[in-house]
Amino acid sequence: MMPRRHSDSDEQEQEVPAHGSAAQPSEAQRRYLARGLAEPGGKLPLFDDVGREVPLKTIEACVKHGWAERWTANPVKPDWVVCKLTPAGYRALGAEPPPPPSDRPGTPQRR
């Protein structure tokens, strides 16, 4: 299968490997994903650090690669895509994914 071409307003055109390969995020994708490292639950931003909306192509590419997943719908702005980091997203950034909520210290166990 041939890789698709992908471009983003912040990056040069590049090859996007087929899903399931050991792809690495582009610089724009890495900047977007890295913002979720310090947020509760790995929530990813809708806007970059200077207030510009994150390009939908960047978000969609991260979801396609499995680095991000849709989190919740925004009833006020349904066209905004709210996502969070996946364990693969943490690993793509060289970070350790947080443990699942039931494995965190101090979390009551369900019976």
Residue 3, pLDDT > 70, answer no
pLDDT attached to residue 108: 60
Report the DSSP pairing between strands 82-85 and 4-8.
Answer: unpaired
pLDDT digits (tens, 9 = 90+) for 20-37: 456 899 999 999 999 999
What are the extents of the domains in the chain? 23-95
**In this structure, are residues 95 and 83 in contact, taking their beta carbons and an 8 Å threshold?**
no
pLDDT attached to residue 106: 63
Residue 63, pLDDT > 60, answer yes
pLDDT digits (tens, 9 = 90+) for 77-96: 888 889 999 999 999 999 99
CATH class of 23-95: mainly alpha
DSSP 51: S
